[in-house]
Amino acid sequence: MEKLKELLRNTQRVCILTHRHADLDAYACGVATKELISKFGLNALLAIPEGPSREVKSFIEKLGIAHQSSGNCGETDLVFLVDVSTYAQLNEFRDLIGDGPVVVIDHHEVRNIAPTVSIVDPGATSCSEIIAQVFRDLGIEPSGDVATLLIGGILSDSGRLSRARPSTFEVLAWLLKLAGRDYRDIVNAMAEDVSFSERMARVKGLLRLRAYRLVIT
Ligand SMILES: [Mn+2]
């Protein structure tokens, strides 16, 4: 963590990159990293190649969280790679990364790059869990919106906590207190939108069931 602080002290233009079509975990991790860096007096740019996924758009819309992304990064002194995971994507980003320092925050092992600072924990459920832990270790509280996003990231990448470890629950409880929202509202915002035809099919099924009950009683 000391090395990270030192890097940030000697930097002016920071770029945060997620994987293509960021899912909820990558998006949450990117936005949280941006907020963390702002606590060090820097305004980082967040670039999401090809924009966030539908899952992210629907989640933030339902909870009234403003979308954050800067499009492109341009010239940078320091690059953060969050939840980038696949080696092929790293190769695509080679030009952007250049020879400058790189910080990797990930729950996937990243082997084809030698980061200046590595915050990688393959035992964590998600990138969101890792960055939440970094906030906690530094004694910095994320904003309500960032805490909410991180909860969403943890839930979606952990298979709704089926792959959680004890510390996942600890960090989740901490985030929930900071989120200032009902847990139920966050879980509901993650629900996939059911299409109209699917809804109609369900309604018809229910009606048939009712008719059947009426016959037998
Ligand atoms: Mn992830």
Confidence of residue 214 (pLDDT cuts 50, 70, 90): low
Instruction: Encode 50-74: b = buried (16+ Cβ within 10 Å), e = exposed.
Output: eebbebbebbbeebebeebbeeebe
Check: pTM over 0.75? Answer yes or no: yes
**Distance in Å, CA 158 to ligand 1 centroid:** 9
Give distance in angstroms: CA of 136 to centre of ligand 1: 19
pLDDT score of 54 more than 70: yes
Token match 């059947």: residue? 212
- Dist. CA 146 → ligand 1 center (Å): 16
CATH number, position 186: 3.90.1640.10
* Band of pLDDT at residue 159, cut at 50, 70 and 90: very high
Ligand 1 centroid distance, CA of 26 (Å) = 6
| Cα-to-centroid distance, 62 and ligand 1 (Å) | 21
CB 132 within 8 A of CB 82: no
157 Cα to the center of ligand 1, angstroms: 6
pLDDT digits (tens, 9 = 90+) for 116-152: 999 999 999 999 999 999 999 999 999 999 999 999 9
pLDDT beyond 70 at 67: yes
Torsion of CA 78, 147, 25, 196, to 10 degrees: -140
Domain count across the chain: 1
What pLDDT score does 2 carry?
87
Q: What is the domain extent for residue 41?
A: 2-215
